[in-house]
């Protein structure tokens, strides 16, 4: 990831603002400013990366990094522990990243802090980062309209002078804060005022996203969402349920969910398409948005070992399918 290390330290550095004026530079400061509690966001459109950080009073930092935000983003978690000092220094004592990346401590200077702005300068490189207050994460559907002041928890006293969208293919926003959802993906919607900026994350899942989520869930969650299946029985070494036409997805004629009877974990989802056109639309999206691995399987990460699921579009005997495979389960049990 382009800026993992910088982001992690920037997050940690923010806490030193609350330290007060203790004469002992080596004495850790524990009083966290009310202004720093909550979540902050930075969107770097040229690098196609965004970061949402949650700062709390327990000396922990939790962050979500969104990469490839202009098309199909991937998400990764970072976490860390921190101690700050009155001499404008920050020591990150422990930090973890999903991919296992490590880094060293660094010092930052807080240049500006307010309800809607956090600006930091790296004391070693001079680089400046400006964060906005993160206010909401919203799930939406194409065609929907959203009033940011009513649905995104923007404070009523925040007088926005401009609005913007990081991805107009997903959503556009009017001058009065009305978001029009255009298609699937994610968009970071920003509202700017003289006091700073607030940001909300708009998530518009496609049905591919829905099945990706389901193949990492349990069969009980599937049954609760979709109701009684049309058929059930064994499939390979595991159980399976089938929903037939007319099912809950107009593009499909049938959906099969395989699951482990003991753990209740969904292990594989097989979708059968009504038409070649519907299949080709989804297969093209998968080929364009994911990394190709062995046997025509596609995953969100280029490094195979980081993938917890893989997708496989294929045609067999004239029928069109996409298989959603729980690779985390397969690696443990060696079957679906």
Dihedral sign (CA 249, 147, 138, 68): positive
CA-based diameter of the chain, in Å? 78
For the segment 210-221, the average pLDDT, to the nearest whole number, is 95
Check residues 61 and 29 and name the one with the higher pLDDT: 61
For the segment 320-335, the average pLDDT, to the nearest whole number, is 94
Whole-number Cα distances in Å, 9 to 6, 82, 84, 223, 290 = 5, 9, 12, 43, 30
pLDDT in the model for residue 231 = 94
In whole angstroms, what separates CA 292 from the centre of its chain?
Answer: 21
pLDDT in the model for residue 319 = 96
Say if pTM beats, i.e. exceeds, 0.85: no
pLDDT in the model for residue 102 = 53
Confirm if 81 and 96 have CB atoms less than 8 A apart. no
Decide if pLDDT at 329 tops 50.
yes
pLDDT in the model for residue 31 = 45
The SS3 call for residue 7 is helix
pLDDT in tens, 127-163: 888 999 999 999 998 889 999 988 877 888 899 999 9
Enumerate residues 6+ apart whose C-beta is below 8 A from 153: 135, 136, 200
Decide if pLDDT at 37 tops 50.
yes
Mean pLDDT, rounded, of the chain? 82
C-alpha span between 283 and 311 (Å, rounded): 10
Confirm if 201 and 137 have CB atoms less than 8 A apart. yes
pLDDT in tens, 96-128: 666 665 554 666 777 777 889 988 777 778 888
| Torsion region of 295: left, alpha or beta (phi above 0 gives left; psi -120 to 50 gives alpha) | left
Ranked by mean pLDDT, the top range of 13-22, 74-83, 272-281 is: 272-281
Per the DSSP assignment, residues forming a β-bridge with 231 are 242
pLDDT in tens, 57-78: 777 788 888 988 887 788 888 8
Enumerate residues 6+ apart whose C-beta is below 8 A from 116: 132, 133, 158, 193, 195, 196, 197, 198
pLDDT in the model for residue 250 = 86
pLDDT in the model for residue 303 = 83
pLDDT in the model for residue 8 = 42
Q: Residue 13 — very low, low, confident or very high, per pLDDT cuts 50/70/90?
A: very low
Whole-number Cα distances in Å, 188 to 47, 51, 291 = 14, 11, 24
Per the DSSP assignment, residues forming a β-bridge with 5 are none
The SS3 call for residue 45 is coil
């Amino acid at each position: 990831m382009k800026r993992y290390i910088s982001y992690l330290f920037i997050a940690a550095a923010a806490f030193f603002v609350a330290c007060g004026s203790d004469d002992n530079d080596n004495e850790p400061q524990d009083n966290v400013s009310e202004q720093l509690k909550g979540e902050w966001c930075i969107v770097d459109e040229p690098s196609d990366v965004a970061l949402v950080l949650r700062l709390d009073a327990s000396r922990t930092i939790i962050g979500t990094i969104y990469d490839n935000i202009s098309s199909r983003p991937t998400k990764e978690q970072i976490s860390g522990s921190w101690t700050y000092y009155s001499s404008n220094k920050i020591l990150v004592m422990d930090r973890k990243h999903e991919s296992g990346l490590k880094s060293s401590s660094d010092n930052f200077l807080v240049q500006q802090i307010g309800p809607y702005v956090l600006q930091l300068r790296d004391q070693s490189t001079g680089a400046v980062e400006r964060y906005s207050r993160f206010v909401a994460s919203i799930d939406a559907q194409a065609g929907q309209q959203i009033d940011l002041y009513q649905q995104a928890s923007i404070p009523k006293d925040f007088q926005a002078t401009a609005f913007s969208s990081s991805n107009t293919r997903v959503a556009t926003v009017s001058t009065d804060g009305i978001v029009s959802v255009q298609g699937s993906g994610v968009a970071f919607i920003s509202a700017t005022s003289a006091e700073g900026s607030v940001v909300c994350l708009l998530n518009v899942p496609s049905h591919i996203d829905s099945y990706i989520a389901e193949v990492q869930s349990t069969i009980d969650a599937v049954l609760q969402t979709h109701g009684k299946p049309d058929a059930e029985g064994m499939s390979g070494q595991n159980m399976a349920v089938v929903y037939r036409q007319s099912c809950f997805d107009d593009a499909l004629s049938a959906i099969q969910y395989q699951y482990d009877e003991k753990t209740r974990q969904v292990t594989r989802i097989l979708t059968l398409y009504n038409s070649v056109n519907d299949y080709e639309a989804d297969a093209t999206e998968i080929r364009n948005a994911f990394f190709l691995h062995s046997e025509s399987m596609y995953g969100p990460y280029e490094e195979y070992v980081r993938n917890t699921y893989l997708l496989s579009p294929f045609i067999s005997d004239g029928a069109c399918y996409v298989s959603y495979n729980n690779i985390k389960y397969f690696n443990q049990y060696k079957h679906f």
